[in-house]
Structure 1
Amino acid sequence: MFVNAHQVVMLVFPEPIRQAVVGDAHFVFTYNKESGQYMGLLQGTEGVDSNLFVITTSGTIYSYTLAYKAQLEQTYYKVLKPEHISKEKQPDVKVQTFEHGLSRSEVKKYDSACERLLQYHGGKVKTRRRKKLRLRLEEWKYVGNQMYLVVSLKNKSDIDFKVGDVRVLVSRGRKGKKSSYQELELPVSYRYLEPEKIVAGGESRWVLVLPKMVVGTHEELKLEVGEVMGNRSLELRL
């Protein structure tokens, strides 16, 4: 790929850019790191040839050789997914689970919706910290008759966190009045990329899909994440 200093080369990827690295300082690749931008801009000055690696949010890796040319014939590239060279190894995740009776097209629909939600970072509906763990609900979205919860768990401790039960409950009534207070576990229709383990210093993001419900007066949703054979459970009241 040819670049120079007085023309801007635009690369548009099929997914938002997560990370980019150039081999030499006389080439510069810029993109918006905050908004999950699909587009990157490339320029360079005369010097030795170099290279560029771009990693998208799904872990797909693209590689390019960079060279200086005084006049460019092409300044726009739409990158196609088959052009990637590799994909990062994904963290250990549980097999996606779903209700009996879902067709392949419905599973594909869930996967597509969940993947789109995970492309964007930065949402902070509610956060809970405990024992160097940070549980966060990043997004709570209704799509049709389903409710999508984007969950992230960051492990700042020195010990791996083996994920146990992940439950969503609804409480009804007031705790002070035991006769009227009750908690009911909501059925999870689909779990997308729910992790088995979050390594020390690591973070995982996944999506829970549940039947749509509207929280009424004196009702509260609660997200619980437990640890396998441990006592580091977290609870997030929504």
Structure 2
Amino acid sequence: MKKLIPLLGLLIIMATLEAQNGKVIDTIYANEQKTVSLFFPGPIRQGVTGASNFAFSFNREKAQYFGLLQATPGEESNLLVVTQDGGIYSYLLRYSQKLERLNYFIAGSESIGNERTGPTILPHQELSSIDLDTIPNSDKALDYPKLCSQLLRNPRPFDQIKYKDGVTIRMTKSIYYLNEVYVVFEIDNDSQIDFEINTLNLYKINGNKKRKASYQELLLSPIYQYKVPLMVPKGQQVQFVFVYRKFTLGIREKLLVKLEELNGARDVLVKRR
């Protein structure tokens, strides 16, 4: 709860000052077919969307300046981003099939304020649009390593196996706990070349990719990663855990895992129910 209190206080201040400032914040458009990149003036520490049909992902292990946004059809929402220097950025989010921009370079002047000094510009912010239950607090975050460690010590059967050029990726069925989903991944490198990981992403997909009009692909952003390696040495095997916000699959929906190699072409895809 300790981390939630400052964030909640910030949003309350914004709402209180709304009548005093009529500045309209920018709107960012996204869809499920393309990835929209947002580059901030400082490394991202936290990013929250107000609705589940929008997904904002960023590197939670190694601070980076950019995040990726995708969306599925639904109501408009908002995005709140906090950089490591305390800068706060807020934008409206809308779904659009046609995107005029795929890259946004955010200037420091677009900050609505700072955690340490309070708001300087008032955005149109709705408190009800932020799902506070999905933001890990300090007490809860301490449990992640313990729970993930237990999963690795007592592994469940791996549900899928995919092999390409000596590299195999496996994953367990989704493990639900409270408001989160835990997935254990395993990468086995039987080749004679070290496998450097560029990205490993999990998507929720719907439809047939051959029929682009009906195909939807939504990126699921992890809220915690445990023992994720940068490289799998030749002849070795590694296991690690991703924690996601709770999600469910519809009748026609599946999960898709994309493992991409850094400076190589040994990309592996796993699709499962």
Equivalent residues of 2:60, 2:224 under 8 A apart = no
Aligned pair count?
A: 145
Separation in structure 1 between the aligned mates of residue 150 and residue 228 of structure 2, nearest angstrom: 16
The one-letter code sitting in structure 2 at the alignment partner of 1:188 is P
Equivalent residues of 1:170, 1:184 under 8 A apart = yes
Task: After TM superposition, give the deviation of residue 179 of structure 1 in Å.
Answer: 1.2
Partner of 2:238: 204
Partner of 2:197: 163
Larger radius of gyration: 1
The one-letter code sitting in structure 1 at the alignment partner of 2:255 is L
Select which of 150, 159, 179 maps to 1:125: 159
Higher mean C-alpha deviation, range 120-129 or range 162-171: 120-129
Partner of 2:229: 195
5+ residue gaps in structure 2? 1-58, 64-80, 83-134
SS in 2 for 1:215: coil
Measured against aligned partners, the alpha-carbon deviations of 1:166-221 in whole angstroms (never above 9, x if no partner) come to 10011122334321211111111111111001100011100011111111122111
Select which of 215, 221, 231 maps to 1:181: 215
Select which of 176, 182, 196 maps to 1:142: 176
Task: After TM superposition, give the deviation of residue 113 of structure 1 in Å.
Answer: 1.0
Q: Normalization by structure 2: what TM-score?
A: 0.49
Partner of 1:56: none
Separation in structure 1 between the aligned mates of residue 178 and residue 270 of structure 2, nearest angstrom: 25
Task: After TM superposition, give the deviation of residue 95 of structure 1 in Å.
Answer: 7.6
Partner of 1:43: none
Higher mean C-alpha deviation, range 228-237 or range 166-175: 166-175
Alignment of 1:95-134 (within 5 A): 96=61, 102-121=136-155, 123-134=157-168
Percent same amino acid at aligned positions?
25
Alignment of 1:85-104 (within 5 A): 96=61, 102-104=136-138
The one-letter code sitting in structure 2 at the alignment partner of 1:115 is S
Partner of 1:215: 249
The one-letter code sitting in structure 1 at the alignment partner of 2:234 is A
Separation in structure 2 between the aligned mates of residue 197 and residue 127 of structure 1, nearest angstrom: 19
Separation in structure 1 between the aligned mates of residue 210 and residue 259 of structure 2, nearest angstrom: 25
Separation in structure 1 between the aligned mates of residue 265 and residue 175 of structure 2, nearest angstrom: 30
Separation in structure 2 between the aligned mates of residue 141 and residue 122 of structure 1, nearest angstrom: 10
Task: After TM superposition, give the deviation of residue 149 of structure 1 in Å.
Answer: 0.5
Partner of 1:73: none
Q: Normalization by structure 1: what TM-score?
A: 0.56
Task: After TM superposition, give the deviation of residue 156 of structure 1 in Å.
Answer: 0.2
The answer to whether the aligner puts 1:235 opposite 2:269 as a matched pair is yes
Higher mean C-alpha deviation, range 228-237 or range 102-111: 102-111
Q: Say which structure is richer in helix.
A: 2
Task: After TM superposition, give the deviation of residue 102 of structure 1 in Å.
Answer: 3.6
Tell me: CA distance 1:217–1:174, structure 2 relative to 1, closer, same or farther (3 Å): farther
Task: After TM superposition, give the deviation of residue 224 of structure 1 in Å.
Answer: 1.2
